[in-house]
Amino acid sequence: MIVMNEKKFIEAEFDNEQEIENVVIENAEYFFGSSSIFIPKTLIRTRDGFGTVPDGFSIDLASRSWYVVEVELVHHSVWSHIAPQVSKQIIAVTTPESRQIIEDIVIQTFNESDDVKEKFREEKIKEIDIRRVLGEILSRSPIVGIPIDRISQDLKEWATTLRNDVRLWLVRKFIEFGVPENVAYEIPEEYRPILDTTEEKSKPKSGIDSYDVSLADLLDAGLLAVGDELVMRYRPRGGNQRKYKAVVTEDGSLEVLGRKFKSPTYAALLGIQDAGSDRKTVNGWTSWRNSEGKLLADLRAEYLKLKENEAEQAASEDS
């Protein structure tokens, strides 16, 4: 239950698959990354030469990865519905013709959207290199991305058997008690999936993956200190570059422009919107740098390595 003043929002079922699909489309960057480009199935269905069409595709320029996206409701059977459907979709995108269609749609979107142009610019991908980069991304095996309203044990078991990496995200619906037309949706925080078989296959000895790390963890490990000043530089489309400073506070938050955030992403988002951008997402871990020029993502990697070494040392002492 979610409580807001005297209002109480209780969990409810989605009316149909289209409802949850619309939530994912409208908030795609919160699932697939702030540098991702989402291609809904409506753009694919009009193209000849494409096989079974999923609910969409997403290309993440930052990680140079791409997703076959299938939005589902848990009442669909895993083994008789989801599994065969995803298998057909993976087969459909293995053909050069299918991948060429996806590439052409991204190029068309780039030409028509200033927001997409900005994503390529931020990832330092020059216009002359766009087709080459897209070709490299699409030559890799796609990740199967499944946003769903509830995750069953059958779904988890199937996901771990698939050759492709699978990421499962939980999407929940809430309605106000007594006023059911007031609806709220819960979507992932910091792009975090409930299950990521990429992480499961290479699970570190420490049992900690990147999704688990917080700024407070970096503080505890001495990789950040209270009072440290982080810097983010951002130039909005058509504007001048701005410099923002964030101070690390005792509770593991970032204070920027007089406000405190537990999440570096929302701290960065406040800055870029202050600069005049209308973007709704940004990756805070790759936005803020410390006085040595290290990104928070670099410090997070150091933290994970430190914990891995500690786990290996503890294991050797026990053996």
Work out the percent of the chain whose per-residue pLDDT is above 90.
Answer: 75
Q: What is the pLDDT of residues 165-222, one digit of tens each?
A: 999 999 999 999 999 999 999 999 888 899 999 866 666 666 777 888 999 999 999 9
Report the pLDDT value the prediction gives residue 200, as an integer from 0 to 100.
64
Residues comprising the chain, all counted: 319
Work out the percent of the chain whose per-residue pLDDT is above 70.
Answer: 95
Instruction: Detail the DSSP E strand segments found in 6-97.
Output: 7-12, 36-40, 56-60, 65-69
Distance CA 226, CA 220 (A): 10
Judged by average pLDDT, the poorest of 49-53, 127-131, 273-277 is 49-53
What mean pLDDT value characterizes the chain? 91
Is the model more confident about 240 or about 317? 240
Question: Would residue 217 be called left, alpha or beta, if left means φ above 0 and alpha means ψ between -120 and 50 degrees?
Answer: alpha
* Residue 96 backbone phi and psi in degrees, to 5: -60, -35
Distance CA 183, CA 185 (A): 7
Tell me the whole-structure pTM to 2 decimals.
0.87
What mean pLDDT comes out for the span 133-143?
96
Q: What is the pLDDT of residues 224-259, one digit of tens each?
A: 999 999 999 998 877 788 999 999 999 999 999 999
Distance CA 71, CA 145 (A): 8
Per domain, the residue ranges of the chain are 2-201, 212-310
Report the pLDDT value the prediction gives residue 211, as an integer from 0 to 100.
83
What mean pLDDT comes out for the span 266-281?
91
Whether pLDDT at 162 is above 60: yes
Would you state the structure tokens that stand for residue 244, as one six-digit string? 């923002």
What mean pLDDT comes out for the span 136-160?
95
DSSP 266-311: HHHHHHHHHTT---S---GGGT-B-TTS-BHHHHHHHHHHHHHHHH
Q: Is 33 exposed, middle or buried (0-12, 13-18, 19+ CB in 10 A)?
A: buried
Residue 313's pLDDT band, with cuts at 50, 70 and 90, is: confident
User: Cβ of 221: how many Cβ atoms within 10 Å?
Assistant: 14
